[in-house]
C-alpha cells in the first residue's frame, strides 16, 4: 500500500525502495513480486533483476502462464534495442522459448501464442520497411525473403491463439493479423486463398 502511494505521488525511488525492502522481509509475497516486476517493466531498468524476480514468481506460482508471457515480452524488448546482431538473435530465441512455455503451463492461455505471433509480425514489418528503402536488387530480394520467413513464423501462433481464445473481441483482433498474412501468401496456393477468405469474413 505504501509503495502504491509513493507511485501515485510520482516518487519512484521511494516506491521501489519499499518494494525491495518488502521483498527482503517477505520473499514469498506474490503481490510484492508483481509490484517489482511492473516497476522494472515500466521504467525499463535493470532487466537482469527482472528475470530474478520472475524466476522467484514462477517458484511461488508455477501454474501462472502470464509470468512466462511477461518473460517473453522482456526478451523481445531487449532484442529491439540490442545493437549486436548475435545477441539480438539470442534474445529472439529466448523470447520464443518463453512464449512457447505458456502453453505447457496452461493450454488455454492464448497470450503466449499472441505474443509470439505479434513479435514475428512486427519483425516482418520492420524487414518490409527496410526492403522498401533498399536500392540494391540482391539485398532487396534477401530482405523480402527474410520478411516472408518472419511473416510465415507468425502464422502458426496466431492460428493457435485463435483456436484457444474464448474472447470474441480478441479473436477478431487475431483474425485481422491472420487475414493480412494469408493475403500476402494468397498467390502461393489454395490453402492461403481459403485462409484469407475465412478471416476476411470473420473481420467483417
**b vs e for 142-164, b when ≥16 Cβ sit within 10 Å of the residue's Cβ?**
ebbebbbebbebbbebbbbbbeb
CA distances for 171 relative to 13, 114, 174, 179, angstroms: 40, 10, 5, 12
pLDDT for 60 equals 85
Give per-residue pLDDT as tens, 153-198.
999 999 999 999 999 999 999 999 999 999 999 999 999 999 999 9
Instruction: Give the per-residue pLDDT at 74.
Output: 87
Tens of pLDDT, residues 99-110: 999 999 999 999
Percent of the chain with pLDDT over 70: 99
Q: What tens digit of pLDDT does each residue of 9-31 get?
A: 999 999 999 998 888 788 768 78
111-132 vs 168-184: helix crossing angle, rounded to 10: 40
Amino acid at each position: 500500500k505504501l509503495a502504491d502511494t509513493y507511485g501515485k505521488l510520482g516518487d519512484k525511488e521511494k516506491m521501489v525502495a519499499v518494494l525491495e525492502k518488502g521483498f527482503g522481509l517477505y520473499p514469498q509475497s506474490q503481490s510484492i513480486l508483481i509490484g517489482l516486476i511492473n516497476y522494472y517493466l515500466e521504467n525499463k531498468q535493470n532487466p537482469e533483476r527482472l528475470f530474478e524476480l520472475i524466476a522467484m514468481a514462477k517458484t511461488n506460482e508455477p501454474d501462472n502462464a502470464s509470468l512466462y508471457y511477461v518473460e517473453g515480452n522482456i526478451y523481445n524488448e531487449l532484442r529491439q534495442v540490442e545493437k549486436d546482431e548475435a545477441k539480438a538473435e539470442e534474445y529472439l530465441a529466448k523470447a520464443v522459448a518463453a512464449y512457447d512455455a505458456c502453453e505447457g503451463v496452461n493450454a488455454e492461455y492464448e497470450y503466449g501464442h499472441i505474443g509470439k505471433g505479434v513479435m514475428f509480425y512486427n519483425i516482418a514489418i520492420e524487414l518490409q520497411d527496410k526492403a522498401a528503402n533498399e536500392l540494391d536488387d540482391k539485398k532487396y530480394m534477401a530482405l523480402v525473403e527474410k520478411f516472408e520467413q518472419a511473416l510465415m513464423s507468425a502464422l502458426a501462433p496466431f492460428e493457435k491463439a485463435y483456436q484457444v481464445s474464448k474472447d470474441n473481441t480478441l479473436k477478431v483482433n487475431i483474425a485481422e493479423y491472420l487475414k493480412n498474412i494469408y493475403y500476402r501468401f494468397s498467390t502461393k496456393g489454395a490453402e492461403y486463398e481459403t485462409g484469407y477468405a475465412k478471416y476476411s469474413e470473420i473481420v467483417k
